[in-house]
Structure 1
């Protein structure tokens, strides 16, 4: 008898409104650092590209060590931007897909991509640095385990 008392439309709409405002706030919390990071990363990439082209115009050879360092830094920044974009978008999608659209497959895929971000970023940094790569390979070859 208690289940069928009164009009439940107001309760449903109120719950949906509260949930939507919570989801929008959560999206905004993730979106602001994402936009700031992307803008800063793009400005850094633009600056590195300009500096690199300037260095290539005024250097004696393309195998200059500082040019190689700039290329590695540029690759690292671009990989960070791509990984961070993947992470941020997957966090936002996972929030919207599971509860709002009720799509569990998209939710699980986006959560998997979000979880992969910290380890993949570390791998990019290890493979981009010669000393870290040597230490990693030495440790893996010597012990066979982590």
Structure 2
């Protein structure tokens, strides 16, 4: 009995130690017996871990990152203010109102001419964050007496 208990414990430990190890499935994963460096182990995509890179990036790497990132839209109020400011600066004395919703701009009100409406549409499209422009403004017809 005194020899049976240590035998059982050592057997459990031995089986546990070898049973928990993965066996190599191909020749590329078998450990080499010489002093060469072993090839990097390849993990399936489901087992890969993501690491963060703390190294500083060059300017070209930063621009490459920004090209791949999705464009974030500005808040509606900020976009509306920016579009209104641009219209007031380039078309003084206009009577156009701006509505913004998720990057879509609607121009309402009255304009002195159709050329002014076309210019306003072009100016609004130049603002960063604008996805589309819809012109619902009307051309003011002067009264002839």
TM bucket by the smaller chain? under 0.3
Which structure has more relative contact order (CA 8 Å, sep 6+)? It is: 1
Structure 1 length as normaliser, TM-score?
0.25
Q: Which has the greater radius of gyration?
A: 2
Higher helix share: 1
Higher strand share: 2
Structure 2 length as normaliser, TM-score?
0.25
